[in-house]
Amino acid sequence: MTSGRSRFRPSSSVARQKLAAAQRADLGRPPLGTRLTGYTPKGEVIQDEAEIVRVVFDRFTGGDSLRAIAAWLGETGVKTRRGGAWSPSTVATILKNPRYAGRAVYNGKPTGKPGDWEPIVTPEVFDRAQRRLDDPRRKTHHEGYDRRHLGAGLYRCGRCGKAMHSHTGARYRCPAGCLIRSAVPIDELVCGVVAARLARPDLAELLPTVDVEEVRAITGEIDRLTARIEEIEQDYDEGNIDGRRYRTATEKVQAELTAARSRLVRLTGSVGAAGDVLRADDPAEAFAAAPLMIRRSVIDLLLEVRVLTSPRGRRGFDPETVALTWKVA
């Protein structure tokens, strides 16, 4: 397995190293010297990290912004490969790497050959992520404009089914030109209905994919382990334990912490950014206070919104002109 490595390693010239790298790529072997989140340097899958990579792809292809994914990774406590904080660009770096789909890469480009390592995502999921990364509307609408317009790209036109766009004068417009409607009354209606649903005591039943109690338990476990590490560090600082015991103790707790965080990622990944609101002590209040992108995620998880035409000449807002369908029981 490492024959390629020993054969190419003695080379000292840049040219020979490049040749070796090209040959490795040609043979579908993982490049030397770089470790991707999710793989050991030899290209073996690290399950906990692979799970995080999968969730990053799922959330992005499911409509989350790079910023929302970075914020969520930060909250779960997962670090980047270099131990730093996540940013939209480090999230994009993961999404753009064809090696996750098992495709060999040379000079940043796929060689067209399969790699000899285990893929973490399917080629279909990877290609879907590339299409969304390349979609200019993602930047203009979803990352920018939609911040001010709750339902843009989320509500559907009641006539043709296309996603509504933001339009001047705080309005929504069907891109096919079917209808234009004032945004504020529709947003107020949708938010009111969602908040009322969130206030009901059977919220946990409403979310079969998320075990709210288990998430609370794991969050508690993470807090406890984090506090334990601080205790051990304090013991070491005060000279109560020596360096060897300090390392043994922190390594054990750190391993438990990583496992707990990865369980949290698995549990909360499926509901995306909405999870923060749903797990809050008062979900309805958390929803009202949440940033626009988070509110969008909650609405998207719970409700299908179809905007219908408003009869001409009608004054005031008629709630009947917005069709709301629950996506959950």
Q: Site residues (CB under 5 A) for Zn ion?
A: 157, 159-160, 162, 174, 176, 178
180, β-bridge pairs:
173
CA dist 329 and 322 (Å) reads 20
CA neighbours within 13 Å on the CB side: how many for 319? 7
Task: Please count the other Cβ atoms lying within 10 Å of the Cβ belonging to residue 250.
Answer: 16
Residue with Cβ nearer Zn ion (178 or 267): 178
Residue with Cβ nearer Zn ion (241 or 308): 308
CA dist 268 and 81 (Å) reads 21
Minimum Å gap between C-beta 313 and Zn ion is: 21
Residue with Cβ nearer Zn ion (24 or 165): 165
325, β-bridge pairs:
304
Residue with Cβ nearer Zn ion (86 or 155): 155
Minimum Å gap between C-beta 173 and Zn ion is: 9
Residue with Cβ nearer Zn ion (179 or 257): 179
Structure tokens, 144: 């920018």
Residue with Cβ nearer Zn ion (152 or 225): 152
Minimum Å gap between C-beta 180 and Zn ion is: 10
Minimum Å gap between C-beta 142 and Zn ion is: 19
- Those residues whose C-beta lies under 8 Å from the C-beta of residue 37, and which sit 6 or more positions away, are 49, 52, 53, 80, 81, 94
Cβ(272)–Cβ(297) under 8 Å?
A: yes
Residue with Cβ nearer Zn ion (178 or 203): 178
- Give a three-class secondary structure readout of 267-284: HHHCCHHHHHHHCCCCHH
| Residue 268 CB burial class (10 angstroms; 0-12, 13-18, ≥19) | buried
Please report, as a single letter, which amino acid is at residue 73. L
Minimum Å gap between C-beta 167 and Zn ion is: 13
Residue with Cβ nearer Zn ion (164 or 257): 164
Structure tokens, 74: 């930060």
- Those residues whose C-beta lies under 8 Å from the C-beta of residue 172, and which sit 6 or more positions away, are 149, 151, 152, 155, 164, 165, 166, 180, 181, 183, 186, 307
Minimum Å gap between C-beta 165 and Zn ion is: 10
For 171, the enclosing helix (H) or strand (E) is strand 171-173
Residue with Cβ nearer Zn ion (156 or 295): 156
For 193, the enclosing helix (H) or strand (E) is helix 183-199
Among candidate residues 109, 165, 100, the one with its CA nearest the CA of residue 128:
100
Minimum Å gap between C-beta 172 and Zn ion is: 11
